[in-house]
A and B are shown apart, each in its own frame.
Chain A
């Protein structure tokens, strides 16, 4: 085995505090660290201002502090083809996509990993809050110790060959500690605000952004029993369980999105947070990845997350075919959304995940969900 000095680790640096500390920790451990900034999206505005330029400038400052070489690589085309096209297609299909999962699968841990390896890197490191454990000749993906920051949800599509090449040096640290380390070393990004939202949309208005790419088709808002409740601005702007922006006044409990009818361009709404139509007892999922690369052949009792930063729910997973499972909830779940990821866990170990297709209630797919 190579010693650290002769082990080259490419760190994917975003200009944020997490990847900065990732590089710092690896440097302290004596690795041959190379910082690389990935540019996936051109958001240059009419004044020529581009957040990527500012982020790269932070990468430069941190790498100079750490005395490591830094470079950039442009994956705008790959990102557009593999992530953004999927993102738009899912919205067109009335679903709510998860571009971060796709970005990790297709860009960060595929195109970018290949790039790192072409530079003679032994490993690719990122600032994700997750851990990799080698048991025998298999790699396990383990949750980050900071419950609030654990990012295995977004990493559920990683394979054994990818895990054998990645390092997540922050996985064993709470975010607070990462900030403290950054401040202690006076890193240029120590006090930089965490980025929020989908990377290519950033702080912008989501509706405005989406309308630049997809024509909005306004239509009717109805209850499941067919009572008209107003107009919607385009189905893609709404997601299951959404309360804001419906503009339905009147007495009683607030109104929520409970489903969509793409064919008739109708948005279904119902009243009350606890409305029964928001609840389901199962789902089907496809585009599955099992981290251990062993296809599921028998029923699996485990826990699952249906969205990021949710506590786990107990589920039973039943294989239907090679790339389809049925997931049965032990307790009814609210606002499960097609297009989002379902990710499976056995205690601290992330087993893998897939994309939510159908929502099931009483053994029947809910046709109103979309």
Chain B
């Protein structure tokens, strides 16, 4: 496509951003609300010399991706909650084997098969690792199509730099929303990373043997976990991203990620105009959680309202980040004909916290 400003579904924006940034391999199995990604890559990847491969299940998807990553190529797998469950073993393996990849979870209502409408119920699974063992992977929660495009080169860089799977999460409402997007920031970067040092490139002219494994014996295992923890520490120090608004003198702060973040920002802006001392934080990285912005909150803050399309997940990270310095409450739910949290509900909740 030639034009840079387009009008597309956010799932398609994700796919187009991958193409423009140089990702050429996508593995997937159909699942609402993530199928639009593979529909798009099936139609467009082959035009740029890439491939979309529909495997027979999500187990196969993640193992295809593992095989690809072992050859030093950056690939992607997209899915929704039930499929993401099935991929966890593979994601744990890839993390232990230090294999970079891009993952997308378009969150829907769970647990179980749940419902196909959007939610933000995969926060725990995304940030705590759905697989066993001590590990963390970078998690990006864009709030708009534009932010998907802006974050794609960042995610690719972190995948190669830390040699780790990198996860994007969107709620299903945002995934299916259509909006204006400018693709200018999506530059081809994948080819600029050299993976020859560690990947399987065949025996020809081979200097040394690459060893990729997720199995370790005793002291090796301890070293591996320490290495993963050192990566997590480095990410926590360097990779926190968030959006903030009017925190300087805030008494109440509204905190939300993804699409509800957009809804809340608009409400906060509107209440500020009426002179209420309300601020706003939208975590963009869920791991590392943006603790820094919470550490820097002024003493004027007495309450943080966390709004999520779930029954209270990110709120736990907010509580850890403020460590009892102020009250933290939660507002959220899932389901319904219109799964998104309505501005009216948040306004009502705020009215109770900030008496006029």
Q: Are A and B part of the same complex?
A: no
